[in-house]
């Protein structure tokens, strides 16, 4: 399974995911209750070499999760969804229950943060975005 | 033994990974050479020559040296079940607390950059002292057991060969 597929499955396993009817890649429908996962590249955080010549690389994958939700007069439900998702990701990562992206799962870190309203559509929808970052290790 | 040449490219520096210390995790007669230093990013041999300088009444300075006492520290050294060398040291130090065995370990230092690339220079010490200096680590981090190695016992020089497929190292005395 690719890193993108792994992240997509991880998002789908969120208990509140049933709010969404679909989760596209690099696309977010304007239809209410649709989501889009946007990969935004990988950054090499560090590269270390031991005295035997083994190389350990720490990378960071970046994603953005966009959700189009129905806009209510009181947007508390939508905002709560964003907060709960971020806390759920933190809990899964802290407990070691998040999926592995690299060669050393216990050294991995997944954070979902900065969830916020991105914009409001004229069709009665609100677009939210959450940043998701994954730090993982590769051994060569 | 005639002077050796380096088998690396002239004008280029020598990679650190071309000098590897191995611990015998087999037996004396059938050694299994397991590399020391997995995940250790910086470790150097230190040579103590017991050097002294004296000055005579004419103002001339003379120096004296003895054969070096060679030590090498591996700190931090992270425990790894796939690292046969550190597993053996852990058993001797933590499980058995066998000081005598730790003080008489068979080690092989291979200089892959010296001599020919197929038969690089190597030196075997049959009674090296390996001294673990701690065991632990920070919460959420890795278990570490730093070690100090003092090369000792009979020093036998020769050459080593490394199997390209299995990575097994064999020592041949000169």
Q: Nearest C-alpha of chain B: how many angstroms from A20?
A: 35
Q: Nearest C-alpha of chain A: how many angstroms from B18?
A: 8
B37 contacts A51? CB cut-off 8 A: yes
Question: A24-83, pLDDT tens digit by residue?
Answer: 999 988 888 999 999 999 999 999 999 999 999 999 999 999 999 987 777 788 999 999
Q: Which domain holds residue B85?
A: 16-173
Q: What is the pLDDT of residue B1?
A: 75
A49 contacts B40? CB cut-off 8 A: no
Residue A103 sits in a domain whose CATH number is 3.30.2000.30
Q: What is the pLDDT of residue B53?
A: 97
Q: pTM here?
A: 0.85
Minimum CA–CA partner of A109 in chain B: B140
**Residue B43 touches partner A, C-beta closer than 8 Å:** yes
Q: Which one of A46, A47, A52 would you mutate to disrupt binding with B, by most B Cβ within 10 Å of its Cβ?
A: A52
Find, among B89, B95, B104, the residue nearest to B144 by Cα: B89
Model confidence at A124, pLDDT cuts 50, 70, 90, reads: confident
Average pLDDT over residues B121-125: 98
3-state secondary structure chain B: CCCCCECCCCCCCCCHHHEEEEEECCCCCCCCEEECCCCCCCCCEEEECCCEEEECCCCCEEEECCCCEEEEEECCCECCCCCHHHHHHHHHHHHCCCHHHHCCEEEEEEEEEEECCCCEEEEEEEEEEEEECCCECCCCCCCECCEEEECCCCEEEEEEEECCCCCCEEEEEC
Which residues in chain B have their CB less than 8 angstroms from residue A49's CB? 16-17, 41
Q: Which one of B14, B15, B16, B36 would you mutate to disrupt binding with A, by most A Cβ within 10 Å of its Cβ?
A: B16
Does residue B114 form part of some domain? yes
Domain total for chain A? Answer: 1
Model confidence at B146, pLDDT cuts 50, 70, 90, reads: very high
Does residue B2 form part of some domain? no
Q: Which domain holds residue A48?
A: 3-139
B39 contacts A54? CB cut-off 8 A: yes
Q: Nearest C-alpha of chain A: how many angstroms from B140?
A: 9
B42 contacts A52? CB cut-off 8 A: no
**Residue B162 touches partner A, C-beta closer than 8 Å:** no
Q: What is the pLDDT of residue A30?
A: 83
A50 contacts B41? CB cut-off 8 A: yes
């Amino acid at each position: 399974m690719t890193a993108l597929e792994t992240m997509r499955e991880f998002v789908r396993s969120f208990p509140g995911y049933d709010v969404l009817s679909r989760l596209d890649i690099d696309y977010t429908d304007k239809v209410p209750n649709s989501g889009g996962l946007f990969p935004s590249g990988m950054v090499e955080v560090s590269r270390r070499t031991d005295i035997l010549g083994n190389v350990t690389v720490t990378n960071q994958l970046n994603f953005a999760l966009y959700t189009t939700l129905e806009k209510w007069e009181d947007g508390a439900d939508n905002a709560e969804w964003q907060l709960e998702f971020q806390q759920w990701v933190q809990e899964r990562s802290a407990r070691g229950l998040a999926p592995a992206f690299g060669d050393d799962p216990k050294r991995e870190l997944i954070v979902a943060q900065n969830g916020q309203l991105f914009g409001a559509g004229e069709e009665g929808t609100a677009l939210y975005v959450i940043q998701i970052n994954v730090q993982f290790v590769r051994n060569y | 033994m005639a002077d050796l040449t380096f088998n690396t490219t002239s004008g280029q520096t020598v990679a650190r990974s071309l000098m590897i210390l191995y611990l015998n995790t087999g037996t004396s007669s059938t050694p299994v050479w397991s590399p020391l230093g997995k995940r250790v990013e910086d470790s150097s041999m230190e040579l103590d020559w017991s050097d002294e300088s004296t000055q005579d009444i004419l103002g001339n300075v003379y120096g004296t040296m003895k054969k070096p006492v060679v030590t090498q520290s591996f700190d931090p050294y992270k425990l790894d079940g796939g690292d046969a060398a550190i597993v053996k040291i852990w058993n001797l130090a933590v499980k058995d607390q066998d000081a005598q065995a730790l003080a008489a370990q068979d080690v092989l230092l291979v200089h892959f950059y010296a001599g020919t690339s197929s038969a690089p220079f190597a030196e075997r010490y049959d009674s090296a002292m390996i001294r673990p200096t701690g065991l632990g680590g920070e919460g959420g981090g890795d278990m570490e057991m730093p070690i100090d190695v003092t090369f000792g016992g009979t020093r036998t020089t020769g050459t080593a060969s490394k199997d390209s497929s299995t990575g097994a190292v064999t020592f041949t005395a000169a």
